[in-house]
């Protein structure tokens, strides 16, 4: 009879490892999957909005196409447009259509590429307390069509003939409101704005008595008492 040795109980428990039972993780349900989808969509939308906000500007504003001096009457070739991001209220003082500025007079010097704003243009129309006066000037004495609304001018009157001829300054630095007529015509009709009633009287009397000469004074500081 063969005898088989049986190991003690504590040795048998060490020799045979116990099986480990792990719980399976449940798969996500339909609600969880849909919620994750919504979160992903929200993240994508946020990123897209940020990219759009930081993208290149799309609104184009009028800028100077070249260096422009004060007193210049604007022509279309003086202007161009550029896409710029402008905050309020700056965007409200800028222009988008170059054609609406043709014929306007610059009240300030602009560098190439500089934004055109309301403050850079001479005002149109009479201001509070000003009077409008019209007079005729010979084309040869009025700079032809180089003068435009917004320009400042000095008006001189010449009376008499020969040695008795006399020229004097009637009103300095008055603002042109309107100009009618063409080069080669009988004369230009200017409408100017005057704040002083004595200046109005002097200009009306000079226009009736003799020839008037108009001198551009836009780039010169207005004289005291001028319109």
Q: Where are the domains of the chain?
A: 60-120, 131-216
Note the pLDDT tens digit of each residue in 83-128.
999 988 888 889 999 998 887 878 788 999 999 998 888 766 677 7
Q: Find all residues with CB under 8 Å of 67, minimum gap 6, and list them.
A: 109, 110, 111, 112
Note the pLDDT tens digit of each residue in 9-49.
555 555 555 665 565 555 555 565 555 555 555 655 565 55
Q: What is the DSSP string of 92-149?
A: GGB-S-GGGGTT-BBSS-B-TTPBPBGGGB---SPPTT-EEEEEEE-GGGTTGGG--T
Mean pLDDT, the chain, as a whole number?
78
| Closest to 110 (Cα-Cα) out of 74, 85, 153 | 74
Cβ count near 80 (within 10 Å):
15
pTM higher than 0.85, yes or no? no
60-120: which CATH topology?
A: Type Iii Antifreeze Protein Isoform Hplc 12 (3.90.1210)
- pLDDT on residue 20: 57
Note the pLDDT tens digit of each residue in 168-183.
999 998 888 888 887 6
- Joined tokens for residue 137: 């000037």
Burial of residue 22 (CB within 10 Å: 0-12, 13-18, 19+) is exposed
Query: Collapsing DSSP states into helix, strand and coil, what is residue 175?
Result: strand
CB neighbour burial string for 154-184, b if at least 16 within 10 angstroms, e if fewer: bbbbbeeeeeeeeeeebbbbbbbbebebeee
Partners of residue 136 on adjacent β-strands = 189
């Amino acid at each position: 009879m063969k005898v088989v040795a049986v190991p003690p109980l504590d040795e048998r428990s060490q020799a045979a490892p116990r099986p480990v039972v792990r719980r399976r993780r449940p798969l996500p349900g339909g609600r969880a999957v849909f919620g994750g989808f919504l979160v992903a969509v929200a993240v994508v939308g946020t990123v897209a909005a940020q990219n759009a906000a930081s993208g290149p500007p799309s609104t184009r504003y009028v800028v100077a196409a070249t260096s422009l001096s004060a007193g210049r009457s604007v022509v279309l070739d003086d202007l161009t447009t550029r896409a710029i991001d402008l905050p309020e209220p700056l965007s409200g003082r800028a222009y988008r259509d170059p054609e609406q500025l043709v014929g306007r007079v610059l009240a300030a010097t602009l560098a190439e590429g500089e934004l055109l704003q309301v403050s850079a243009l001479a005002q149109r129309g009479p201001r509070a307390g000003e009077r409008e006066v019209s007079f005729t000037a010979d084309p040869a004495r009025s700079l032809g069509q180089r003068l435009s609304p917004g320009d400042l001018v000095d008006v001189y009157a010449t009376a008499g003939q020969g040695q008795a001829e006399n020229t004097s300054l009637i009103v300095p630095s008055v603002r042109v409101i309107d100009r009618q007529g063409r080069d080669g015509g009988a004369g230009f009709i200017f409408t100017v704005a005057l704040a002083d009633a004595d200046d109005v009287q002097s200009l009306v009397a000079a226009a009736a008595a003799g020839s008037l000469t108009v001198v551009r004074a836009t780039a010169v500081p207005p004289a005291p008492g001028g319109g």
